[in-house]
Amino acid sequence: MNAQPAQLLDTRGRPLRDLRISVTDRCNFRCLYCMPKTVFGRDYPFLPRQELLSFEEITRIARLFVAQGVTKVRLTGGEPLLRHRVEQLIEMLAAIPGLELTLTTNGSILAKKAQTLKDAGLHRVTVSLDALDDATFRRMNDVDFPVAQVLEGIEAAGKVGLAPVKINMVVKRGTNDEAIVPLAEHFRGSGHIVRFIEFMDVGSSNDWKMDEVLPSRDVIRRIDAVFPLEAIDPNYSGEVAQRWRYKDGAGEIGVISSVTRAFCSTCTRLRLSTEGKLYTCLFADHGHDLRALVRGGSTDQEISDRIGAIWRTRDDRYSEIRTAETAARRKIEMSYIGG
């Protein structure tokens, strides 16, 4: 019997458990907090295809991460469903034993893809949905996309078994915070889980301001006033969302509070960008090039050693030390390394 590898810990004693893989830097939305048109316009130079990791390269890297202790892979983007034949990649990754495989999407083409994704081996989806009101939703995605099609995608995902669907709402004070209670009400009793995310200073393009952050405690207060809530324990150590359930048994919600209640101390994530750079934090300003190793003929052991060295020296705690100065510095865009 092969011996299990020693647990990989960073400088703060955090284990490596989660890998987020961005499969494309392209998206068909231009959400204000992620890919605003002022930066990501018609002439924006997205990565050429040959720069992207191939499905074979992604699968090889994922296998090496699983050998290092990763148990969950989430496919992100950009919008991952825009990657041509992404179902083939899911099928390849799903063949890795012991791996939970999930995907985050804007839901725009999820209704068409849900059954194929499930058949390929995907376990669950998370859908970004920033409002139920159509006018607000169109304003947030900034491409005049109707909310009804996203709701159809969520319904389709639930029907084929990609459930429970997690619905992520980025809350921006003064822009869409009036959508909090209606969104919670819509999904009460559905079996799906809405998570409300504080507007964060990710990247350098979203014009982040602290006064546009609505603290998660205020989100809970608003919902609790209409639908009484009680706090519940996390599902596992390192879960980023604080969980709350409705006292009448109609399900649960979550809040993700990176700005007002940092969870750096339990973060177990690495992020692999579209063209193979490894980032140790969502707020990082530089990455580590794995593609050069993969395409340069390095052995699996050499790549694994590099991954181990990166994690063991990791000391990130951005949200614990966030200031106006750090928020203003240039960081990698969320569309490039996934949320």
Of 191, 202, 146, the residue nearest 318 (C-alpha): 202
The strand pair at 193-198 and 288-289 is best described as unpaired
Quick: pLDDT tens for 49-96: 999 999 999 999 999 999 999 999 999 999 999 999 999 999 999 999
Average pLDDT of the chain is: 92
Q: What is the pLDDT of residue 292?
A: 98
Rg of the Cα trace of the chain? 19
Quick: pLDDT tens for 171-218: 999 999 999 999 999 999 999 999 999 988 776 666 678 889 999 999
Q: Would you say 2 and 112 are in contact if contact means Cβ atoms under 8 Å apart?
A: no
Of 3.30.470.20, 3.40.50.2300, 3.20.20.70, 3.40.50.300, the CATH number of 18-337 is 3.20.20.70
Mean per-residue pLDDT for 314-329?
Answer: 78
The full set of domain ranges for the chain reads: 18-337
Tokens of 285: 């300003």
Q: Would you say 1 and 253 are in contact if contact means Cβ atoms under 8 Å apart?
A: no
Mean per-residue pLDDT for 116-132?
Answer: 97
Burial readout 299-332 (b: 16 or more C-beta within 10 A, e: otherwise): eeeebbebbbebbeebebbbbeebeeeebeeebb
Residue 156, classed as helix, strand or coil, is: helix
Higher pLDDT residue, 271 or 323? 271
Q: What is the pLDDT of residue 1?
A: 42
Quick: pLDDT tens for 252-297: 999 999 888 888 999 999 999 999 999 999 888 889 999 999 999 9
Q: What is the pLDDT of residue 255?
A: 97
Quick: pLDDT tens for 20-51: 999 999 999 998 888 889 889 999 999 999 99
Q: What is the pLDDT of residue 206?
A: 62
